[in-house]
Amino acid sequence: MSDSTTVAVVGTDTGVGKTVVTAGLTHELRDRGVDARAIKPAQTGHPPDDDAAFVADACRTDEAAICLRYLEEPLAPRVAAERADDPLEYEPLLADCRRECEQVPVALLEGIGGLRVPLAGDREVIDLVADLASSAVVVTRSGLGTLNHTALTVDALERRGVDVPGIVCNEYEGASVAERTNPRELERMTERPVETVPPLSGSDPAALADGVRDGLSRSFADRLVEKA
């Protein structure tokens, strides 16, 4: 499909909530009638980690997500592949991702850790994002320390020609001065809209995805729908 759109969901670090945000956005788009699919280029720490399966469970259909490579050790993909003597080459991975992204009107490319994580050969996650995605949603922590990491992530994406339509501060409670002031400061520093998602409990993927959808504003989801 030449008119397909790829939106990356990237994080400032590992464990910031990329998967649950990807699940929420994929679920929202599919509920709006958009044939959206989450693409995980490579999953490390498998098993038990399986981000694509989480998104599929959240959307209640295997059609909602796919993972292209699984690696056992919870390390950067390049390192995990090298230690497993399981060749992971950038160009074939890029071609596989591009093929999958072009199968649907909107593909949500979920990152692996942060942007500078070694992916394959001498390429990093940011190289794949820049080669595939026209825009990227940045998921970040809400508390102290997030300003620097988030601003640097946005800057890195913009230098590679990737637009940032929004930032998501995950697990936002507003319990500290840093948390309460960070969203406004990030908007000032990056000139990008900032959304907040509260801490979500439980283990049901669908319920967690619904919590993300409830936390994000209507206009945030609208901007992604417009790309479809």
Residue range 184-209, pLDDT digits in tens: 999 999 999 999 999 999 999 999 99
* DSSP conformational letter for 75: S
Helix %, strand %, coil % for the chain, to 5?
45, 20, 35
Per residue in 18-70, pLDDT (tens digit) is 999 999 999 999 999 999 999 999 999 999 999 999 999 999 999 999 999 99
Q: Classify domain 5-223 by CATH architecture.
A: 3-Layer(aba) Sandwich (3.40)
Kindly tell me if the per-residue pLDDT of 224 is higher than 90.
Answer: no
Average pLDDT over residues 155-176: 97
pLDDT of residue 152: 98
- 40 belongs to the catalytic site: yes
Mean pLDDT of 166-195: 97
* Residues 73 and 86 sit within 8 Å (Cβ to Cβ): no
The domain ranges of the chain are 5-223
18 assigned binding-site residue: yes
Q: Are strands 123-124 and 135-141 parallel, antiparallel or unpaired?
A: unpaired
Residue pair 106/36 in contact by the 8 Å Cβ criterion: yes
* Residue 31, marked binder: no
Residue 31 contacts residue 77 (beta carbons within 8 Å): no
What pLDDT score does 220 carry? 85
**β-strand pairing of 118-120 with 123-124:** antiparallel
Say how far apart CA 75 and CA 83 lie, in whole Å. 10
**For residues 217 and 115, which has the higher predicted lDDT (pLDDT)?**
115
What pLDDT is recorded for position 37? 98
**DSSP helix/strand/coil, 132:** helix
Comparing 92-96, 98-102, 109-113, 213-217, the range with the smallest average pLDDT is 213-217
Annotated ligand binding at 227? The verdict is: no
Provide the pLDDT for residue 228: 56
108 annotated to a ligand binding site: no
Q: Which pLDDT score is estimated for 26?
A: 97
Average pLDDT over residues 153-168: 97
In terms of Cα–Cα distance, which of 35, 29, 107 is closest to 66?
Answer: 107
Q: Please give the mean pLDDT across all residues of the chain.
A: 95
pLDDT of residue 2: 47
Half-sphere exposure in the Cβ direction for 73 (13 Å, CA): 12
Q: What is the pTM of this model?
A: 0.96
Instruction: Kindly name the residue from 27, 30, 37, 40 that is annotated as catalytic.
Output: 40
